[in-house]
Structure 1
């Protein structure tokens, strides 16, 4: 007869605040505690998880069983390995690849096991790189603007003086071309600097009002052959932010999507989906948030070329002929000012931009 399973040890409520899966496991395989993240990933209650041998939740449990036993025997104070976690509720889903960290606890027969989704770690690394990229973009833009503006003013002034001095009409036209091109470059510099110059105007923002404004603007410009579907979670609360910046960020993404759908508009099956969801226990920029908004802008266009997919948020990178390459850079800057992130996934027939912003 097996010994009775003891009650879950107390003092572990704080583990429910973590994004990573945490379990307290006896060396014989009994699960004494599983946190909320473990429940969410498994799609099962922690009571259900504790009913069976904890190692049975893994595709190849023997190495993990041996590792837990070795840590419990004090052969190691901590140990790490990779494993595949079964997801019983999502029967069609592939096992989840996780990085397992096994640590000792005060009870020599009990270990603390943390499971980190490999994909989650990759995402966090990507978010950190994106934040560094935003800061690098700011510095690049400031330096670029400084280096361009000073000589640009001199070129324009010299062209104006030249235009007043020359008698030849053709030479005067050439001077006018110089002036117009200098003005175009000045406008480009101003657009680059705009998000860093204007103040951050904070007020209560309803994300669905933002989406509806963007939807109306896109349909006004592309009235035929395009459907913009709404898929809203109306329970999402208002949050503090700059409404105009968020409208511009979402508009830039949706406008790019609409322009990429020109061929499908001709066939009258172009589609953009605006989707809102709530994400729980989200880490953004190394900070933990209990709730976050996820806004998806999805289209059924040809997709983004793989050669530029990892650079689409860089200034002046565009996948469309005639594009300025500033729309997504500005969108990323505006979302970053709300402590959020933008991710992109793209394959032919489906491109998805996901904006994540913390909620109160």
Structure 2
């Protein structure tokens, strides 16, 4: 008869990090779902196996486990490479390993944090801070422009009424038209901040189909917009029009970047939807999330602006306003989501993650 109840480790399944409970010799007594997903084997297959065998250099873990078991120190940390099943890419996963004692000398907790995941979380946090700073900058700048703009337009109209020469009135018309153009730009800058967040049930595939129809209507020849949908994705609460605008801004940028391939007849944009499990967005863990990819086979984003594409007024295209991706990021963040980009010549991939119920 056991003197202590068997510990329950179910809560470890809620963590984004990889967790294994092992004996001092490294035998797996428990692994969480994140560990299963990364290794590519079920929990049943992993229980009883040797955890060090899943490391490129097993000796470091073996020595740390032995030292923690002897109580040389309560916790040990090191960086390592975790093996994965052949065919699971990448086959070596860089992790930061934390080995901790428990209340039992027969059980040691080994936590493995993906180094890439930590980097991504840091990047997301910086992106959120930058987006907030961008919003304040845009709002202040737009208001500063808007106030004198009305005066300029009004003065030009009054001057136009006094002028007798048709040639001179053409100049005042230019002033009015350019003032109107700037007014439209200011309205676009302010729109995300003052538009109410309309919440309803959103079907992401209806959003994708609407965007697909709009893109194909503008680029009817030389461009294929392919679908790769997971139709099991549930509806979620959100603003359908905002999400259409966000996806459209990205897809439209892609189509414009594909101009040369469109002329050659080989341009392609792929709209892909998947369900991501156990996703961390910002500092919050979600059981399920929508993963939407917008991928194109264009020339890629210029390296000089690749790290700044979500900043306002940054554009890689002649005549571009540099607002499309800024607005897309704002709309996705209003859905507690995040947007990332990976670009190289021949392939640009935007990935949108939004929590699902």
Q: Same fold by TM (over 0.5)?
A: yes
Q: For residue 51 of structure 1, report the CA deviation from its aligned partner.
A: 3.4
Q: For residue 156 of structure 1, report the CA deviation from its aligned partner.
A: 1.8
Residue equivalent to 2:327: 330
Residue equivalent to 1:123: 120
Residue equivalent to 1:194: 191
CA separation in 2, counterparts of 1:195 and 1:91?
A: 41
| 1:136-166 CA distance string (max 9 Å, x none) | 1211111111111112122222222222334
| 1:38-80 CA distance string (max 9 Å, x none) | 0010010122223332101100111121112222222222221
- Superposed counterparts of 1:6-155, under 5 Å: 9-90=6-87, 93-155=90-152
CA separation in 2, counterparts of 1:51 and 1:106?
A: 21
Q: In terms of mean alpha carbon deviation, does 339-348 or 48-57 score higher?
A: 48-57
Where structure 1 has 5 or more consecutive residues not aligned to the other structure, the ranges are: 1-7
Checking the alignment, whether the CA contact within 8 Å between 1:44 and 1:89 is kept in structure 2 is: no
Q: In terms of mean alpha carbon deviation, does 17-26 or 346-355 score higher?
A: 17-26
**SS state of the match for residue 234, structure 2?**
coil
Asked whether 1:215 is paired with 2:236, we answer no
Q: In terms of mean alpha carbon deviation, does 62-71 or 221-230 score higher?
A: 62-71
Equivalenced residue count is: 353
CA separation in 1, counterparts of 2:89 and 2:156?
A: 68
CA separation in 1, counterparts of 2:70 and 2:139?
A: 58
| 1:156-209 CA distance string (max 9 Å, x none) | 222222223344444332222222211111110001111111111111111111
Residue equivalent to 1:264: 261
Q: For residue 9 of structure 1, report the CA deviation from its aligned partner.
A: 4.8
CA separation in 1, counterparts of 2:49 and 2:238?
A: 47
Q: In terms of mean alpha carbon deviation, does 198-207 or 158-167 score higher?
A: 158-167
CA separation in 2, counterparts of 1:198 and 1:117?
A: 38
Checking the alignment, whether the CA contact within 8 Å between 1:73 and 1:109 is kept in structure 2 is: no
Checking the alignment, whether the CA contact within 8 Å between 2:25 and 2:65 is kept in structure 1 is: no
CA separation in 2, counterparts of 1:186 and 1:155?
A: 11
Give 1:349's match in structure 2, choosing from 334, 346, 353. 346
Q: In terms of mean alpha carbon deviation, does 160-169 or 175-184 score higher?
A: 160-169
Give 2:249's match in structure 1, choosing from 252, 267, 288. 252
| 1:250-295 CA distance string (max 9 Å, x none) | 1111111111111111111110100000000111121111100000
Residue equivalent to 2:175: 178
User: RMSD of aligned C-alpha atoms?
Assistant: 1.5
Q: For residue 108 of structure 1, report the CA deviation from its aligned partner.
A: 2.2
**SS state of the match for residue 52, structure 2?**
helix
Where structure 2 has 5 or more consecutive residues not aligned to the other structure, the ranges are: none
CA separation in 2, counterparts of 1:276 and 1:334?
A: 18
Checking the alignment, whether the CA contact within 8 Å between 1:9 and 1:33 is kept in structure 2 is: no
Asked whether 1:278 is paired with 2:275, we answer yes
**SS state of the match for residue 302, structure 1?**
coil
TM-score (norm 2): 0.95
Q: For residue 91 of structure 1, report the CA deviation from its aligned partner.
A: 6.1
Residue equivalent to 1:317: 314
Q: For residue 125 of structure 1, report the CA deviation from its aligned partner.
A: 1.1
CA separation in 2, counterparts of 1:124 and 1:184?
A: 39
TM-score (norm 1): 0.95
Q: In terms of mean alpha carbon deviation, does 65-74 or 303-312 score higher?
A: 65-74
Checking the alignment, whether the CA contact within 8 Å between 1:43 and 1:89 is kept in structure 2 is: no
